[in-house]
Amino acid sequence: MKDYIKIHPWSIVEEGFDASRNKVSESLFSIGNGRMGQRANFEEAFTGPTLKGSYIAGIYYPDKTRVGWWKNGYPEYFAKVLNSVSWNSLDISVDGTPIDMAGTAPLHFRRELDMKNGLLKRKFTVNIRGNFIHAETERFCSMHRKNLGVIRYSITAEKDCTITISSGLNGDVRNQDANYDEFFWENTATGFFEQPVAWLSQQTRKTNFGVYALCRHKWNEGLAPLKTDTYKTDLSAGMGYTFALKAGETLTFEKYCIILSDLYVNRNAFSQQGFQEIQDAYDAGFDTLKKEQTNAWEAIWKNCDIQIEGDDSAQQAIRFNIFQLFQTYTGDDARLNIGPKGFTGEKYGGSTYWDTEAYCIPFYLGTASPDVARNLLLYRYHQLPRAIENAEKLGFTHGAALYPMVTMNGEECHNEWEITFEEIHRNGAIAYAIYDYINYTGDEEYMISHGLEVLIGIARFWAQRVNWSNDKKKYVMLGVTGPNEFENNVNNNWYTNYMAAWCMRYAAEQYEKLAKTNSSRLSEIRDKTKLDYSEIQNWIKIQSNMHFPYDAERNVFLQQDGFLDKELIPVSQLPASQRPIVEHWSWDRILRSCYIKQADVLQGFYFFEDDFDIESHRRHFDFYEPFTVHESSLSPCIHSILANKIGNEEKAYEFYLRTARLDLNDINNDTCDGCHITSMAGTWMTISKGFAGIRIRNGKLHLDPALPTNWNSMRFNLRFRENLLGINIGKKGITVQNIEGSPTEIICNTKPYAISAAGEIFIP
């Protein structure tokens, strides 16, 4: 099963159909445009294993949390992006027999995700009562017209037959992962305009989001339907068409759909705007809309494509990761964020995690306008009041802010106590993202206008979360869970303590900097946050006296107090039959083991690499990597980057392939639930920060490349401040082209090189 995806530099290709792997394929071949998206469900009926999914960004429901007990501060719900109106269905019958590949296996089947042009394509042949039916489909969510989805479905029969197509909009949809099997939609209404155009409107329960959908159809000239009718229920509306098809004749049927939400359109204007948009799309026609799609993706790939020569598997994988990221988030709306599964599935609810700040922001900084990453920061800034409320629910005071582990609107909504109460390191990722953004873009104004307020709230939280240990004569942090979720309720997780100390130091430094450069704005912030300078002094005192677990014999920082009390058995000694351990071991056994779910101490070394010399990096990598099972999708990319840093090419490449082809090869046996969108950003980081060795220091772009031995070359474009740079790393040297922007300077292998506007340099 793991090898059924064919290697192709620009496409994901599946040849031959196996119903048992269909849910994995539905995830891999998903489409979207940042505003909406859907799994690659078949247009025609399919009664085999499937997860029907069509999603709209920002539309969610507060599903009740299932727990057997309740504690103060526990979230009341788990927010979920909703399975919304289904618009891509075309129920097709041949002489009264439905096309359903669950019952009639195709004689030929090919499915392709054309990543260069943003198209989902399919070809298949089925035998319906002795009549061979050949079908070709194309589908896309328009990157140019964000409310538009389009389908072209062509059918050719080898014998005369009657084709019946039933097509419309279906509001009878549910989330597969609803805790209480609830129906999340209400007040659904359906109807028709004269053309005919079917429409459906509905709103969510509780959150009251409004959605309005329309569809219209077109077919090839000269093939008029024998019969046309309409159907309408409380939850669906559509049209039925019957065509007489002669042997060898082709019916090309097109479906145009507009999906509006009241995030962007006033409900009073739904019908007028929706009708106008569907008319415009219908008049433009499929070929024009497809050309718009191709042009939009050409513009995206101009900024973000990575070309690898000599390794087709790696080439396909990196493009797949980049493609899914831009299908999920385009960055034009600060109210939206990036769910771990994007539009490809329902696991994790589609909510925002710390993944965005730790993994996704670096990707968008290097591949898109700075406004994209800035909007991700603004998403958190606007939710600062909710972060303060979250902290208050746990007993914190005086404007301390605890950002949620999982959220849609800023309120914590995770349904596991050890995450909600203990995995507080997420606060540090929010602060680090502010640093990362400003360091990369040079946008110092953001700190003044928004950033410092967030840092103050976070620093206040850390200052209250620690306590003084008379035994250790240090500040300690008790009862936490670090990035390694296979260790719950530990004391002094090194990563969490280190991140907390850095946050307090960074907040204090930015306070002092603003005091020197813009005292009037600092006064505004102090008044708004009720900040006293004694707090700044306290942060400095705490961060300089924080306890960091350490083993002098091994000369390594310990993941947490007591880590060496565990039985240290390397992962290599685990029988394959017990992997992954999360599926084979009890939780009790996992918590008592030495095994690490994902980079923990090493996550800190990745963020703060300049705090440690190269030997420290090597020593800690060599100590912790053998105990890491990488049962989080976020783990391999960090290990690849660090392996590159210490010159371990074998491990760097091994972990690159693991993160890059995580979904394509279904490595964790969970791609059926959706693709790992946020870890895909980590895959991009393995290229840029790993093999290319990109760092930003003192406002300069640094390169320290280490091309894998089996790659002939690697070329990619990188946006850095006002410039778009083309970087080509080959066996004989490095070429850097200044594609857009003014003259600039880069540092390569510690040496400075000037590049003129539109200029190019070669570094042997």
Strands (E), 428-557: 467-469, 474-476, 550-551, 556-557
Q: How far apart are CA 534 and CA 516, in angstroms?
A: 18
Angle (nearest 5°) at CA 583 between 636 and 576 = 70
Alpha helices, H only, 646-676? 649-660
Angle (nearest 5°) at CA 488 between 620 and 494 = 35
Q: How far apart are CA 151 and CA 360, in angstroms?
A: 31
Catalytic one of 43, 277, 485, 535:
485
Residue (of 121, 126, 150) closest to 40 by Cα position? 121
Write the CA distances from 223 to 227, 243, 245, integer angstroms.
12, 7, 8
Contact criterion met (CB below 8 Å) for 23 and 51 = yes
Residue (of 505, 386, 289) closest to 79 by Cα position? 386
DSSP codes, 140-183: EE-SSSTTEEEEEEEEEESS-EEEEEEEEEE-----TT-TT---
For this structure, is 609 an active site residue?
no
Write the CA distances from 692 to 306, 552, 644, 714, 715, integer angstroms.
11, 34, 9, 9, 10
Contact criterion met (CB below 8 Å) for 233 and 168 = no
Which DSSP state fits 39? -
For residue 9, say if its preceding peptide bond is cis, omega within 30 degrees of 0.
Answer: no
Q: Which residue carries 């918590």 as its tokens?
A: 591
Q: How far apart are CA 385 and CA 389, in angstroms?
A: 6
Angle (nearest 5°) at CA 115 between 112 and 118 = 95
Radius of gyration over alpha carbons of the chain, in Å? Answer: 27
94 residue type, one letter: V
Tokens of 489: 């309720």
Tokens of 633: 């999708």
Burial of 409 (0-12, 13-18, 19+ CB in 10 A): middle
Q: At what angle do helices 494-517 and 452-465 cross, to 10 degrees?
A: 140
Identify the sign of the CA torsion 545, 550, 555, 557: negative
Instruction: Determine the number of helices (DSSP H) and then strands (DSSP E) in the chain.
Output: 22, 32
Phi then psi for residue 567, to 5 deg, are -80, 115
Question: From the CB of residue 11, how many other CB atoms can be counted at a distance below 10 Å?
Answer: 19
Q: How far apart are CA 111 and CA 114, in angstroms?
A: 10
Q: Which residues contact 534 (CB under 8 A, 6 or more apart)?
A: none
CB-side neighbour CA atoms (13 Å) of 194:
0
Q: Which residues contact 70 (CB under 8 A, 6 or more apart)?
A: none
Q: How far apart are CA 283 and CA 564, in angstroms?
A: 69
Identify the sign of the CA torsion 8, 12, 17, 19: positive
Q: How far apart are CA 182 and CA 172, in angstroms?
A: 12
End-to-end Cα separation, the chain, in angstroms: 43
List the catalytic residues: 485
